[in-house]
Amino acid sequence: MGKRTSYAPGTFSWADLATSDQADAKRFYGGLFGWEAQDMPVGDGVVYSMMSRDGDVVAAIAPAPQAQRDAGVPPIWQSYVTVASAEETAERAGAAGGHVHAAPFDVFDAGRMAVIQDPQGAFFMVWEPREHAGAALVNAPGALTWNELYVPDLDAAQAFYGAVFGWTFAPIEGMAMPYTVINNGERANGGMMLPPMAGIPPHWLVYFGVADIDAALAAVTALGGSVQAGPIDIGMAKIGVVADPQGAMFALYDGRFEE
């Protein structure tokens, strides 16, 4: 497991769930991962639920903004990348062909963020930290473990994200489906691959660690979620893709954890 008090720019550092039923999502993830919620008021009767595992904050659950609901966006896990400057990163993203969906704005004293859509349609957030660095625990059961991009054009994705974050890319040889590891400096920082079937829109998929993939998949269904795929043995780990009761997709990872 890895305790964190800061993140290097270009590192995935946080994930939050925008959902249609905040109370039921807290029940589901509390049962699945042992998360405990601390509700933080953010105005107009809305709370942002900081979710902790054994005292370490690991993710958050919030009601989906009305604009997302009006646009028909389903409940979704959102991936955040730490940056030194939200403004400069948003400018680079626009110059590289992305769309700055929400220009940089302050999130109270926690930090500054922007919402960006890459040229193929996948959304992600950039996070310039102030009081909130990101997840205090990663790479452990019940904590953020991996972030994976699904897009139809891997070369275009590498060009875009390389320009925005300075990431480098290392294809894994011998895979049935092409898979590329994303590196931020010397550390693996996620992966990217082609969608496994037609109809899957470009998106970032969030992985959380588990100690026992079979038990975790059984718990997903017992708690009202659904198993979309798995368990899948990828050699270094076993994984599964699941959906919570509101339909938000995420993945489970049972294997060796990086520090």
Mean pLDDT, rounded, of the chain: 94
Measured in degrees and rounded to the nearest 5, phi and psi for residue 218 equal -65, -40
- Indicate the fold that domain 2-129 takes in CATH: 2,3-Dihydroxybiphenyl 1,2-Dioxygenase; domain 1 (3.10.180)
Same CATH fold, 138-255 and 2-129? yes
Per-residue pLDDT tens digits for 186-199: 999 999 999 988 88
Mean pLDDT of 205-209: 98
pLDDT score for 34: 97
| Domain-wise residue ranges, the chain | 2-129, 138-255
Residues 6+ apart with CB under 8 A from 69: 20
Closest CA to 207 of 141, 254, 149, 252: 252
Residues 6+ apart with CB under 8 A from 42: 48, 62, 108
Mean pLDDT of 88-92: 98
Spatial distance between the Cα atoms of 240 and 181, rounded to a whole number of angstroms: 19
pLDDT score for 1: 58
pLDDT score for 145: 97
Read off the pTM: 0.95
- Indicate the fold that domain 138-255 takes in CATH: 2,3-Dihydroxybiphenyl 1,2-Dioxygenase; domain 1 (3.10.180)
pLDDT score for 227: 97
Q: Are 226 and 220 in contact (CB under 8 A)?
A: yes
